[in-house]
Amino acid sequence: MRGHSMEIADWRRKIDELDEQIVRLINQRAAAARAIGELKQKANLPVYEPQREKDVFDHVRRANPGPLSDVEIVDVYERIIDVMRALQRHHD
């Protein structure tokens, strides 16, 4: 049984490392989205751009190597984009 718990601990360590990278990348994405939000504000453009969001979903589907399905990866991105949109709105 010991072998199994070591294996789980190893995988969890790996997940912790990946989470650190994911958090950094999501924050870099947020910084970019905030910069776009500022430019939209100056240009009087709407924060919500359904076509752009559709393009992002198409792009991540094309980039998706699995094991997540396209539906699952888009699920994750819907939440990310919700957060980014809120960031653009409440930025003032």
pLDDT digits (tens, 9 = 90+) for 16-34: 999 999 999 999 999 999 9
44/88: higher pLDDT: 44
pLDDT band at 3 (very low <50, low <70, confident <90, very high): confident
Please answer whether residues 40 and 88 qualify as being in contact, where contact means their C-beta atoms are separated by less than 8 angstroms. Answer: yes
Which pLDDT score is estimated for 6? 84
84: number of Cβ within 10 Å: 22
**Phi and psi for 64 in degrees, rounded to 5?**
-75, 115
- In the chain, domain spans: 2-89
> Which CATH superfamily includes the segment(s) 2-89?
Chorismate mutase (1.20.59.10)
Question: What angle do the packed helices 70-89 and 2-42 form, to 10 degrees?
Answer: 50
63: number of Cβ within 10 Å: 8
| pLDDT-above-90 percentage for the chain | 85
pTM, two decimals, is 0.85
Chain mean pLDDT for the chain: 93
Token pair, residue 55, equals: 């393009």
